[in-house]
Amino acid sequence: MTTFAGAPVTLEGVQLKPGAIMPDFTVTDVNLAQIEPMKSDGTKIILSVPSADTPVCSRELATFMHALEGTDVQLISVSMDLPFALKRWMDMEQNDNLTATSDFKDHSFAKATGVRMAENGLLARAVFVVNPAGEILYDEYVDEVTQEPDYSKALKAAGITQ
């Protein structure tokens, strides 16, 4: 069961499992371009976050960005934040090692991964590690959305040692 600030929430769709292929999805980047992250090469850590502009989400993004410095692992965040808010946050935080995206337009990512919270329309906190072939190596749907994920397990699945 997933909770948000202690209250149970309903995640819409089917949750993904390791071994499955990450479905294609289309999201909007900070420049309003439609991108398809699964069509790019390489290992990816994909973060589903409620809003980049909150303390827990900012801490999560910074932790992963710092851990991935100097690696070839792509870090992609997806939220329902508008691209304008994401751009402001990216500029303020000087986050060059992150592709921040929004699922506001057609909820493609939410539908593909089962992370949309029916009660508030936000995305639940989740982490997916995907290899170059598109196979999910690791997933975590965080039980309490206001808490951080298990960084060490996700990074280990991506081949990053701390």
Q: Which residues are the active-site residues? A: 57
Q: How far apart are CA 159 and CA 135, in angstroms?
A: 14
Q: How far apart are CA 30 and CA 24, in angstroms?
A: 19
Phi, psi of 77, rounded to the nearest 5 degrees: -110, 145
Closest CA to 114 of 13, 21, 25: 13
The CA–CA distances, whole Å, from 2 to 11, 17, 54, 144 equal 8, 16, 19, 6
